[in-house]
Amino acid sequence: MQDSIKKQANSLITKYNTNNPFELADYLGFITIITPLDNNISGISQNLKKNIVIYVNSELDYYKKLIVAAHGLGHAILHKETDTIFLEYTNICLQNKYEREADSFAIELLLYNKQSYKYKENVINKTSAKERLNLSMLNFKFPHSY
């Protein structure tokens, strides 16, 4: 699954020549809305029928907005058929399959070209410490087969 997610992220980046989730959502006809949301919610990914909307909390800083948008894009691409609204909480790390897959997609997208997963892990940890971001969304265990 991890390989397939990586391939999907990489093929989008190659096709549209960007790894910016907002630009990619635009190209793919998904709507992204940056708007004030409840403090506990970093984003909402709406996958209803073909009506895909990614809401991002406008209170987040730039980098976190990218993460939330990339995660939402992951739901939009990987979980088209689920007909679900995903609420992305700021402080709760949901460990279900869909959330892990969306996180995985976000990592592949945002850290494109960073080849080794150790490097990716480092970037995430350092960024987290430096920016004091709550990266619970990216608190994702890289599989050994990666």
Q: Where does this chain bind Zn ion (CB under 5 A)? A: 86, 88, 99, 102
Instruction: Name the residue type at position 13.
Output: I
Q: Which parts of the chain are beta strand (E)?
A: 31-35, 41-48, 51-57, 84-89
Give the residue closest to Zn ion by C-beta: 86
SS3 call for 39: coil
Whether the Cβ atoms of residue 64 and residue 56 lie closer than 8 Å to each other: no
41 φ/ψ sector (left φ>0, alpha ψ -120 to 50, else beta): beta
- Nearer to Zn ion by Cβ, of 76 and 102: the residue is 102
CB of 26 to Zn ion, least distance (A): 20
Q: Residue 115 CB, nearest distance to Zn ion (Å)?
A: 26
Q: Rank residues 97 and 130 by Cβ distance to Zn ion and give the closer one.
A: 97
Integer Cα distance of 46 and 90 in angstroms: 17
In whole angstroms, the minimum distance from the beta carbon of 79 to Zn ion comes to: 9
Q: Is 33 helix (H, G, I), strand (E, B) or coil?
A: strand
Q: Least distance in Å: CB of 42 to Zn ion?
A: 9
In the complex with Zn ion, the residue whose CB is nearer, 82 or 122, is 82
Report the alpha-carbon distance of residue 36 to residue 59 in Å, rounded.
6
Rounded to a whole number of angstroms, the minimum distance from the CB of residue 75 to Zn ion is 6
Which residue number, 73 or 111, has a Cβ lying nearer to Zn ion?
Answer: 73
Q: Which is nearer to Zn ion, 1 or 129 (CB)?
A: 1
